[in-house]
Amino acid sequence: MSEKYSKFPEKITVFSASWCPDCKRTKKMLDDRKVAYVLVDIGRDNEAFLFIEKLTRRVKIPTIVFPDGTLMVEPTDPELADKLESS
């Protein structure tokens, strides 16, 4: 497996799937706050799926990786808001 994805990405990276309601909620929150992020659909990118599986030991989405190495798995809106405000 190549290192296409990083534990310390340049931009916030959201690993999601098009069918996932929690992913849609998270993307809407980021969009509403005009937060720049990279969106990766693990349903269309097997390497991304394997990266998340390795990183979290199971695949749960959305998984958000921040440039500082922070990882959030299925965050609530308040949890994500707190992280965005502290960054």
CATH number of the domain that 78 lies in? Answer: 3.40.30.10
Contact 65, 7 (CB under 8 A): yes
pLDDT band at 3 (very low <50, low <70, confident <90, very high): low
Can you say whether residue 40 is alpha, beta or left, with left for phi > 0 and alpha for psi between -120 and 50 degrees? Answer: beta
Average pLDDT over residues 61-68: 96
What's the CA gap between 42 and 49, in Å, rounded? Answer: 5
10-62 residue pLDDT tens? 999 999 999 999 999 999 999 999 999 999 999 999 999 999 999 888 899 99
In a domain? residue 53:
yes
pLDDT at residue 4 in the model = 83
In a domain? residue 4:
no
What's the CA gap between 54 and 19, in Å, rounded? Answer: 22
- Dihedral of CA 8/14/61/85: which sign? positive
Provide the domain limits for residue 70: 12-86
Give me the number of domains the chain comprises. 1
pLDDT band at 2 (very low <50, low <70, confident <90, very high): very low
In a domain? residue 1:
no
pLDDT at residue 80 in the model = 97
In a domain? residue 42:
yes
In a domain? residue 2:
no
In a domain? residue 51:
yes
DSSP label of 72: E
